[in-house]
Amino acid sequence: MLVMFAQHTHTHAQCHSHHTFVALCVVPLIVQALTYDERRGACSLGSNVRDAACYVCWAFARAYDPTELKPYVNPIASALVITAIFDRNISCRKAASAAFQENVGRQARMRSAPGFFLQGTFPHGIDILTAADYFAVGNLSTCYLAISVYVAGFEEYTKPMIDHLVTRKINHWDGTIRELATRALHNLTPCAPEYMANTVLPRLLAVATGMDLHGRHGAILACAEITHALYTLGCRSDRPVTDLLTPDTIQGLRGLHQKASRGRQHLPHLTCLARGDRSSRKWLSQNDVHAFVGPPFVPHNRCGARQNAFTSDPDCLFSLSHLCLQSASSSRSCPSPGCLSETTPSSVSRLRSSAPLRVADWQSLLDETLSAKHSIQAVAVAALAALCQEYYQIQSGLADPHMQEQLVSRYLTALSSAEVQGRCGCALALGALPPFMIHNKLQQILHGLQEACRVVRGMEGLTEARRDAAVALARVCVTVGARSQGSPDNVVCEANVAGVYEALLDCMGDYTTDSRGDVGAWVRAAAMTGLQDVTLQVAGSSPELLTPAICQRVMSCLAQQAAEKIDRYRAHAGAVFLRLLHGTEPAVPHLPHREELLSIFPPEEAESLNWMSASEAFPRVTRLLSLPLYRYHTLLGLAVSVGGLTESTVRSVSPQLRYAPQTQAGLSRSTTTMVRFSSQSLFDYLKTVQQDGAALLQFGNTLLQIFRDHLHNDRVSVPLLKMLDQMLSHGCFELFVHEDSHPLCVELLALCKEEIKKSKDIQKLRSCAAVYCGLIQFQGNVRKLILVQLMILLCHPFPVIRKSTASQVYEMLLTYDDVVDLAVLNDVTTVLSDTNWESDLTTLRGYRNQLCDWLGVPRPTLLAKSVGRVFCSQQFLRASRSYTIDFRLVSRKSVFSTNATGPSSAGRVVPLVSPVVLKPRSVSVPASHSCVVLFVSSRVQRSRCTQLQELRGSPADATACALVFRCLPATLRSHTSSSSSSDC
């Protein structure tokens, strides 16, 4: 309709009655339409209406002469400027700017001199257009915080802009708009301080105690911003802020708590914080400001659907953390005007009836907020530091012992809480304490934070708590400083520096994962930053505390992180690594291989090196493999990068790889790039040492050590197997393959066998089969051992493993033609390719055994299942040279028995051939008893087991066997006769 009206206006502009209609009805409606915003749930409607209203204003400029439109210029101009600056929608801001420009251009009046224009009927139109043109209004923050200040400098627009922010924006549904609006009010306060103090603040106070959560949030923030701005103005003219505020306003601010709470217990408590310099008694003139906070925690049973609208908003603590608190009394009561009559200057004696400040209210508020979400905790922590600095000092640098003990004990106790947010907040709070609050408490704080950094079994999910504990640990160390001969309760010194580094370095090994992915990376990143800060702090004040061992561990761990696969954390590790390497003020001592590192990472290239780019980072990182003290950790990081990928990526990266399964979709381009450059950089390094037997052997030994250290650790072992597959496929160990049963191959085979023992991980089993096929190139007896393992996998319980192993063995035999005699090669490949390896295992064993005969390796055989171990006391063994053990399991159907004779049976596995699956159970037996103990478990239900006996052998003491059940714990003894369990 507005668009149709604009077209109609443009067509009938010369009609006098039309002019009257526009004057009386249209202009007010258009001004309202320019700010129309109808709330609908969590959003609003109206941007199309505002855009159409801008079009109508554009049509006004083309339809009417300046003299005709002059009576309506001010409301139209103000509305267009407000829309161009404060509208949430960018298209509306640009439409309003274009309409304003059209009106300024067409409503200008020509002077006698050709080409010279006045500003026209729109006030300061050209000046405003230069600042708020079509493109400048594209950035919302710039509009609110910069352009608005310039435009408000023109008197015609100042109050309309302020009124719009107060009425329309501080209660906006979008929190970002509310925040920008309050910051804009802060910036606009110098343009109209009296209007802000006398008109705006009273209006905000009424909104701050209302029921609208959005309005209450914005009003509280606006009160803090405006009061802060007024305080700043007062400081410039050496005037107290009370000279700018009316008594009613001051009372309203101080009584906001009572007004908000009266009759509505669920509303937030608001507190007034006054600052002053008691020694100079210059209240509210230099160091004083009132800050207001109100965390809108809304109980679930009071506000219905709106209960979570503002739960734990970080801006609730804005005022306390934002305003700089200095040199106030440590008294529990507020020393500000009106709080204590004896300290009140006469100039503000009228305020003596004000309520006293209770610091405990602030502390309680902060303690509550420390358990909120992380963005709010950061604000609460900043506020806590200011509160401690202001109120918890008896004198400069000396803490109130009561409050110090109370806070430190409270936060240390909360570090052991099972609630993750509480741990996070209290850890950060400890890290934010000023030096005087840590004095004589450093050991307690460091110990508590070090414990909070550790991964505890059953509490691995507290990742955020460990991250914040690492952050706090570094902050505490930086706060107190370092002195080698200092007290461990006051500074970082020789007695506690090792514990600090141990905790941070342990955090570098946090690889916790959950549904969100590698959340341990948060802890590692915090530890890297902490290591940098602590190391630079110690190096600058007491470098003798940095031992060569500490420096080596720090740099090695950073090198490992710089070789890993996540771009963001690799870049962070690389930046910290270079900061410690290139730092000169202070220089870090005892860096291992400093000269070689400087040749790899020249200082002049440090700024240009892009660690986020795999093509730039990995070629340099792999050069660290040539440095003995960095080789282990660098190769460990590279193993995760080169092998930590889907197997479809392995195929795409290296076409020579022969054992890749089906392609998996959805792999990101960045992962493919990382794989390509990390693997290629590793192979390029290996080419440089491929003919150097000693260097290649050192590399291989390091690889084996990594494998040993991380057996059954799937995070490392699986990608390590994949990396080994690639290395063997690229012939990286070709120098060793012609030696008979080279130790590298023998050890790799043993480690692979141990890694997949009892494993049900499909990916690990496939990778291990691929490694076996790569190891087959080694000569000697080890080749037959490898073939045996492949034959075992051909009859693995998992059909997918049997099928993939057959495919890999088939390709292996085609690649290495010396593995099998050419006379039977065709028969072997035919069986491998034509057999359905997903069929019944009984049938497949026949084919597998035939392959074993052709390959010249023994057929795998099934081992007898173990039922248990015989445990004999030493006294019994000394007393009898021979004895017989008879075990009987009596069930409803049959009796199974076995026996073993002689002392050699002690501790030996006793086999029992039976259809019942039996597993060993061991239990401690007192050495004073001469007895034989044997435990078994069975799938047979206990109700079917009637007896479990240790029958008499030939012990020296005839009562020995009667003591068997007396040796058992009461729980096990009762379980033996229970009928509710399947174990017997």
Rounded Cα–Cα distance for residues 500 and 527 (Å): 11
More confident residue, 737 or 969: 737
Strand, coil or helix: what is 458?
coil
pLDDT above 70: residue 902? no
Q: Report which residue type is found at 774.
A: G
Rounded Cα–Cα distance for residues 683 and 724 (Å): 12
pLDDT (average), residues 726-743:
92
Rounded Cα–Cα distance for residues 601 and 605 (Å): 7
Rounded Cα–Cα distance for residues 594 and 604 (Å): 16
The pLDDT value given to residue 353 = 32
More confident residue, 922 or 490: 490
Q: Report which residue type is found at 221.
A: L
341 exposed, middle or buried (CB, 10 Å; 0-12, 13-18, 19+)? exposed
Rounded Cα–Cα distance for residues 498 and 255 (Å): 52
Six token digits for residue 80? 């267009």
pLDDT above 50: residue 656? no
Q: Report which residue type is found at 831.
A: V
Q: For the chain, give percent helix, strand, coil, nearest 5.
A: 60, 5, 35
Dihedrals phi, psi of 848, to nearest 5 degrees: -65, -45
651 exposed, middle or buried (CB, 10 Å; 0-12, 13-18, 19+)? middle
Of 103-107, 123-127, 489-493, 733-737, the range with the lowest mean pLDDT is: 103-107
Instruction: Give the pairing of strands 38-40 and 43-45.
Output: antiparallel
pLDDT (average), residues 646-674:
43
pLDDT (average), residues 133-152:
93
pLDDT (average), residues 704-709:
96
Partners of 885 in beta bridges: 900
Rounded Cα–Cα distance for residues 549 and 590 (Å): 9
CATH code, 401-542: 1.25.40
The dihedral built from the CA positions of residue 149, 153, 157 and 161, taken in this order, carries a sign that is positive
The pLDDT value given to residue 916 = 33
pLDDT above 60: residue 819? yes
Of 132-136, 171-175, 338-342, 971-975, the range with the lowest mean pLDDT is: 338-342
pLDDT (average), residues 271-276:
32
Rounded Cα–Cα distance for residues 368 and 376 (Å): 11
Collect all residues with Cβ–Cβ distance below 8 Å to 746 and sequence separation of at least 6.
782
The pLDDT value given to residue 4 = 52
Partners of 547 in beta bridges: none
Rounded Cα–Cα distance for residues 31 and 60 (Å): 13
pTM: 0.72
Cis status, amide bond into 586, omega within 30 of 0: yes
Q: Specify whether the backbone of 422 is left (phi greater than 0), alpha (psi in -120 to 50) or beta.
A: alpha
pLDDT (average), residues 616-642:
94
pLDDT above 80: residue 973? no
pLDDT (average), residues 940-951:
34
Please give the helix or strand (H or E) that residue 394 lies within, else none: strand 393-395
pLDDT band at residue 286 using 50, 70 and 90 as cut-offs: very low
Six token digits for residue 230? 């007024």
Please give the helix or strand (H or E) that residue 947 lies within, else none: strand 947-950
pLDDT (average), residues 170-196:
94
pLDDT above 60: residue 928? no
For residues 605 and 555, the answer to whether their CB atoms sit within 8 Å is: no
pLDDT tens across 476-530, in order? 999 999 998 899 999 999 999 999 999 999 999 999 999 999 999 999 999 999 9
Give the CB-side neighbour count of residue 849, counting CA atoms within 13 A. Answer: 10
For residues 717 and 710, the answer to whether their CB atoms sit within 8 Å is: yes
DSSP structural state of residue 26: I
Collect all residues with Cβ–Cβ distance below 8 Å to 984 and sequence separation of at least 6.
889, 936, 937, 938, 940, 942, 945, 948, 976
Six token digits for residue 659? 């054992």
pLDDT (average), residues 680-698:
92
Rounded Cα–Cα distance for residues 475 and 428 (Å): 9
pLDDT band at residue 116 using 50, 70 and 90 as cut-offs: very low
Question: pLDDT > 70: what percent of the chain?
Answer: 70
Instruction: Give the pairing of strands 398-399 and 393-395.
Output: antiparallel
Strand, coil or helix: what is 235?
helix
pLDDT tens across 27-48, in order? 888 989 998 988 887 778 888 9
Q: Report which residue type is found at 246.
A: T
pLDDT band at residue 373 using 50, 70 and 90 as cut-offs: confident
Rounded Cα–Cα distance for residues 682 and 704 (Å): 17
pLDDT tens across 299-334, in order? 233 333 232 323 333 333 434 333 333 333 333 333
* Mean pLDDT score of the chain: 76
pLDDT band at residue 6 using 50, 70 and 90 as cut-offs: low
The pLDDT value given to residue 586 = 87
Q: CB neighbours (10 Å) of residue 883?
A: 22
Strand, coil or helix: what is 160?
helix
Partners of 40 in beta bridges: 43
The pLDDT value given to residue 21 = 54
Instruction: Give the pairing of strands 919-921 and 935-937.
Output: antiparallel
Closest CA to 771 of 820, 702, 722: 722
pLDDT (average), residues 784-812:
94
pLDDT above 80: residue 119? no
135 exposed, middle or buried (CB, 10 Å; 0-12, 13-18, 19+)? exposed
pLDDT tens across 563-593, in order? 999 999 999 999 999 999 998 888 999 999 9
More confident residue, 340 or 113: 113
DSSP string, 85-130: HH-SSHHHHHHHHHHHHHHHHHS--B-SSTT-B---SSTTHHHHHH
The pLDDT value given to residue 288 = 30
Closest CA to 873 of 958, 931, 924: 931
Q: CB neighbours (10 Å) of residue 132?
A: 25
More confident residue, 938 or 565: 565
For residues 151 and 161, the answer to whether their CB atoms sit within 8 Å is: yes
830 exposed, middle or buried (CB, 10 Å; 0-12, 13-18, 19+)? exposed
Q: Report which residue type is found at 155.
A: E
Specify the residue for token string 């470098």. 543
pLDDT (average), residues 64-83:
86
The pLDDT value given to residue 254 = 72
Q: Report which residue type is found at 77.
A: A
Of 245-254, 490-499, 731-740, the range with the lowest mean pLDDT is: 245-254
For residues 500 and 484, the answer to whether their CB atoms sit within 8 Å is: no
pLDDT band at residue 126 using 50, 70 and 90 as cut-offs: confident
For residues 959 and 906, the answer to whether their CB atoms sit within 8 Å is: no
Strand, coil or helix: what is 859?
coil
Rounded Cα–Cα distance for residues 413 and 409 (Å): 6
**Where do the structural domains in the chain lie, given as residue ranges?**
2-155, 401-542, 547-582+595-600+610-655+669-735, 772-862, 866-977
Question: pLDDT > 90: what percent of the chain?
Answer: 49
The pLDDT value given to residue 253 = 81
**Terminal C-alpha separation, the chain:** 87
DSSP string, 299-331: -TTTSGGGTTSSTT-GGGGHHHHHSPP-S----
The overall longest dimension of the chain from CA atoms, in Å, is 135
The pLDDT value given to residue 115 = 42
pLDDT (average), residues 88-115:
77
pLDDT band at residue 26 using 50, 70 and 90 as cut-offs: confident
pLDDT (average), residues 821-837:
92
For residues 410 and 445, the answer to whether their CB atoms sit within 8 Å is: no
